[in-house]
Copies of this chain bind each other. A is one copy, B any other.
Amino acid sequence: MNNIEHKNYNDKSYALGATGSAIRELFEFGKKRKQEIGADNVFDYSLGNPSIPCPDIVNETLINLIKNTDATLLHGYTSGPGDMNVRNSIASYLNKTYGCSEKGSLIYMTCGAAASLTVTFNALIASDSDEVIVFAPFFPEYRVFIEKANGIVKVVKSREEDLKIDFEKFEGTINENTKAVLINSPNNPSGVVYTEEDIKNLSAILYKKEKEYNHPIFLISDEPYRELVYNMDKVPFVTNYYDDAIVCYSFSKSISLPGERIGYILVSNKCNDAINVYKAICGSGRSLGFVCAPALFQYMIPSILGYTSNIDEYKKNKDYLYNELKKIGYDAIYPDGAFYMFVKALEDSASNFSERAKKHELLIVPSDSFGFTGYVRLSYCVSFDMIKRSIPAFKALFDEYKNK
């Protein structure tokens, strides 16, 4: 006899579908509000949707492929892990750019960053005691993806002063169940970028702990913002510092193609048991329903590697916004990358602060959604004009607190 109460659908899936994310809710509120009072009167800093168009070469390449490729080939299945020429061209590009020695045969093409992560987690997590360490503040979907793959999320809070890794806390959190450590630099939501020294320190701890527990601890590097850095020539590439590294990439952000869902997973050539880890990734993708990454966009990749959208515009936005907020009196973490800024809320509760900001038509995401208290995230991938027009609202909000 079956004594389990029948459920018509999966509770967890329902809850995820019914609530949506805090970010999306704010965005939807903004859409409604814009209809009510006009788009120009709402200062929407809610979404990480690139505001700068992709470089012309993207659309030129797409049209060229459509016009000059046999349609059954162009739109046909690629192999599950992706077209081999495309994968080889990515490996060559990485090796040339970062001086690593990666292989196309260990690259798996995906439908974007989220897919890169879910495929990786479902490939690695092997028992329900497996833990994945994330550093707060972190992208809230990380928890959704890790828990769906039956993993346990262990949060290590970053240092309050600069949102870099608190290495002491980090080391204390690693145990024999630590399957992987997830980093995201340049960071969403803070814009913080790890330096070479940061990655070296992180790697030293991981190597020590791998030895102690006698099994690999994977470093998963989520890098959709890799090229969006303003303070250095390029970010340190993790496979040059740590062997058991898996890079999750997406072409969404730096080349402004978030809707097209194209990215990849790279298993480092030096990773322990790399070929078998790669096979687990292939099998994981298969079981989640990713037959292959979109073909037309795969074939586009070799022509656009090394290109980005004109990121000087984000830099201009960032510098202007940061300086104006500082002038008013706000405290913010200076962002070195991505297109996010972490600004200190003017009261303990970031949620309350975000609510009060709404009354000034400012849509800013409370940091609680990112596992961190007391801040708001501003996505400055918006028009420069909107930023300029929003400054008086930030001023009014600040004065409201000051005159309380």
Contacts and interface: CB of A to CB of B under 8 A. Distances in A.
Interface of A: 2, 4, 6-18, 20, 24, 47, 49-54, 58-59, 62-63, 66-67, 70-72, 74-78, 80, 111-112, 114-119, 122-127, 129, 141, 144-145, 148, 176-177, 213, 215-216, 256-261, 272-273, 276-284, 286-298
Given A54-B71, A75-B258, A281-B13, A127 B4 contact: yes
B259 A17 contact: no
A150 B245 CA distance: 29
How many copies, total? 2
8 contacts: A9-B124, A14-B280, A49-B77, A58-B75, A112-B291, A148-B288, A260-B295, A296-B296
Contact of A118 (B2, B7, B177, B289): B289
A10 B125 CA distance: 6
B75 A9 contact: no
Contacts of A114: 289-291
**Could you tell me the dominant secondary structure of chain A's interface residues?**
helix
Contacts of A15: 283
Contact of A77 (B67, B126, B258, B282): B258
Contacts of A148: 287-288
A76 B54 contact: no
Given A14-B276, A50-B76, A71-B53, A145 B291 contact: no
Nearest to A55: B71
A18 to B, nearest CB: 5
Given A14-B283, A292-B261, A129 B4 contact: yes
Contacts of A280: 9-10, 13-14, 17
A63 B64 CA distance: 10
A16 B288 contact: no
Contact of A259 (B62, B67, B118, B295): B295
